Structure 1
Amino acid sequence: MTEAPLPAIRSLPSWLLGRAAARGRALVAEALAAEDMRMWHHVVLSAVRDLAPVAQADLGRSVGLDPKDLVGILNDLQSAGLVVRAPDPKDRRKNAVSLTEAGERKLVRCEKAAREANDVLLAPLPVAERERFLGLLTRISGTRGEAG
């Protein structure tokens, strides 16, 4: 049996993290697809829940989405009855986004699906190692539990 190519590259932490991230994204995307939800739609729905009522521009900045992309996602979510846009109570010239009851129910199901997918990702690790691994990832990613 021959060795896999690129051993120097495949041993780099950045390579390994990238592969693990790709597997995690694939698992979560598959779980969300079962709920008829896409990844960015889930991120936006979650941010709306956390920030609502939130101006579209503030929402886009909070999740790092281009305004054009955000509008498309919000159109999809609104068409599905998951969010509503109404004049912002702080500035009536802007739209503010909020979850509907259907959006809240969908988000609860999607969060459960995403957690279960992440449990599959981390299944090879015992609980103590999972906690340590998450702590280490948080330290090297420069985040404090931010979505990403």
Structure 2
Amino acid sequence: RVDTSALKADATAPRWNFEIPFVTPQGTAMAQFEISRDGGEQEVEAAKRVWRARFSLDVEPAGPVHALISLTGDKTSVRIWAERPATAEQLRAGASDLSQALSRAELQPGDIVIRDGAPPQAAPAARAGHFLDRAL
């Protein structure tokens, strides 16, 4: 079951989008980043605010990899989607290293989930007039 509540955009929440170039043996690759925080103008307790960082990178031989890192208080959860099964398997093999790296960075590791495929997309909006009652 996919939790899509985290994917809904809050227009009042701070949000930053940017790209960072990476040099690879095949040339330059661009990683697309988005950083956001829940509870923009709402009075939300600081410990319950969630910071999210999303990024995508497509570098050979790994192929497209997408990540969502969530920080709630001092607990850090990581979700990674690798579009190539072999890449997903390699990332799963290194999940304990990621957990240790989070601990060394003084972050409490939360869930670390690595999946095959692309991240879920938000459902498209209904067509205009789709729910119109024409039996007037």
TM-score normalised by structure 2 residue count: 0.24
TM-score normalised by structure 1 residue count: 0.22
Higher RCO (CA < 8 A, seq sep 6+): 1
Relative to its length, the structure with more helix (as a share) is 1
